[in-house]
Structures are given as structure tokens and as C-alpha cells.
Amino acid sequence: MASVFISSVIPASSEDVWEKIRDFNGLPRWHPVVRDSRIQDGLHPDQVGCIRDFRLQNGDRITEQLVGLSDYDMTTTYTILESPMPLTGYVATLRLTPITDGNRTFAEWSAEFDCAEEDEQGLVDGIGNDVFQAGFDALKRHFGQGS
């Protein structure tokens, strides 16, 4: 099983960052690689079980299902249902933790998945850099710190 873990410090309160990322359908409003998104079947985007269908800037389509959401723990967990990436069993969690020294946020994004051995390093690097770190860098820019 492959795993990815990326962490970052965002120069804003965890409540402000959570407000920005909590909406499972809100990726286009903060992640630079996501062009558009919609929740299937008219479900609310914070309802566990809802499915988001989104397109990347390059036109690729991905569907993901929300499998966990905690306002108390500031975590969201989701799984990929359909993707052009050669992987299966993908489960990811995005977690925020308050940093009280300076009113900042420690953000961590992790995923585990199965894939062919020859695809593993490319997927780990691509997800880590192009998805997780790119999202954190965009949040840092949004909250006033260039990357």
C-alpha cells in the first residue's frame, strides 16, 4: 500500500482555514488545479456519503465520496470512486490543528492507496506535490503568505 503525507503551516486561524476548506464542493474556490465541481443527487456538501464530481484544469474528471467530516476535529475524509490515475482503494484525510503561538494552523493531508509498484513513486510524488502541496500553497497565498 502506498502512502502520501504532506504538512504545512498556514498563516490564519484554524477556524478561518476550516471555513474555507470545509465545503466538500468548494475545491474550485481554493484549489488551483480544480476547474469546477458539483455534488451528485442534490445532496448537501457536508452530508457524509455525498459524491462530488469535479474536473481538473487539464480536463480530467474525478469523483470522490465524503466518508467522514468532523467540525470538532476539523477533519474531512474522502475516497476516490473514479479517476484517470491508476490506483484503487484511495482514502485521504485533510486535518487542521490550531497553532496557538501566532494564531496559525498546522495542516496535514494524507492518503493511502493501492497501485502497481511501477506507478507508486509517480503517484506519490504527483499527489503530494500537485494536489496536497499545491492546495496548501494556495491557502497560504489566500491568507497572505506567498509560497
Domain layout of the chain by residue ranges = 2-142
What span, in angstroms and rounded, lies between the C-alpha atoms of 73 and 18? 10
What span, in angstroms and rounded, lies between the C-alpha atoms of 111 and 127? 9
Over range 13-29, report the average pLDDT: 96
What span, in angstroms and rounded, lies between the C-alpha atoms of 100 and 106? 10
pLDDT higher than 60, residue 147: no
pLDDT higher than 90, residue 97: yes
Q: Are 25 and 145 in contact (CB under 8 A)?
A: no
Domain 2-142 CATH (choose: 1.10.1530.10, 3.30.530.20, 3.40.50.300, 3.40.50.720): 3.30.530.20
pLDDT tens across 117-136, in order?
Answer: 999 999 999 999 999 999 99
Residue with cell 484525510: 93
What span, in angstroms and rounded, lies between the C-alpha atoms of 86 and 64? 15
pLDDT higher than 60, residue 70: yes
What span, in angstroms and rounded, lies between the C-alpha atoms of 54 and 124? 21
pLDDT higher than 90, residue 145: no
Over range 131-142, report the average pLDDT: 96
Q: Which residues contact residue 70 at a Cβ distance below 8 angstroms, ignoring those fewer than 6 apart?
A: 76
Please state the pTM of the whole predicted model.
Answer: 0.93
Closest CA to 40 of 48, 31, 51: 51
Which pLDDT band, with edges at 50, 70 and 90, does 146 fall under?
low
pLDDT at 144: 84
pLDDT tens across 27-55, in order?
Answer: 999 999 999 999 999 899 999 999 999 99
φ, ψ at 111 (rounded to 5°)? -150, 150
What span, in angstroms and rounded, lies between the C-alpha atoms of 62 and 146? 28
